[in-house]
Amino acid sequence: MLSLNDTEEILAILVAVAIVLGFIFSTYKEIQSTIAEEKGKLREKKQTEAKVKTLIQYLDAKKELIDAINEVQKKEGDSKN
C-alpha cells in the first residue's frame, strides 16, 4: 500500500477539496443557467399569449363590424323593396 507523509496527505486533501468545490461551483452555475433559460421561455410564452389575446380581440371587433355592416346593408335592401 502507498505510504504518504504528512505534507503529501495535506496536499491530497486540499486537491480533493478543490475538486469537490469546483464540482459544486459548476453545478451551481448550470442550475442558474437552466433557471434563466426557463424564465426566458416563460416570459416568451406570456408575451405570445398576450399577442394571441390581442389578435382574438381584434378579430372579434372585426367580426362585429362586419356583422353591423351586413345588418345595415340588409336593412337598406329591405327598405328598397
Kind plus residue range of the DSSP H or E element containing 6? helix 6-80
The overall average pLDDT reported for the chain is 92
Contact between 12 and 4 under an 8 Å Cβ cutoff? The reply is: yes
Is pLDDT above 90 for 56?
yes
Give the helix/strand (H/E) hosting 3.
none
pLDDT of residue 5: 86
Distance, in Å, from the CA atom of 60 to the CA atom of 66, rounded to the nearest integer, reads 10
Element (H, E) at 5: none
Please state the rounded mean pLDDT for residues 4-12: 87
pLDDT tens figures, 30-48? 999 999 999 999 999 999 9
Q: Environment class of residue 51 by beta-carbon count within 10 Å: exposed (0-12), middle (13-18) or buried (19+)? A: exposed
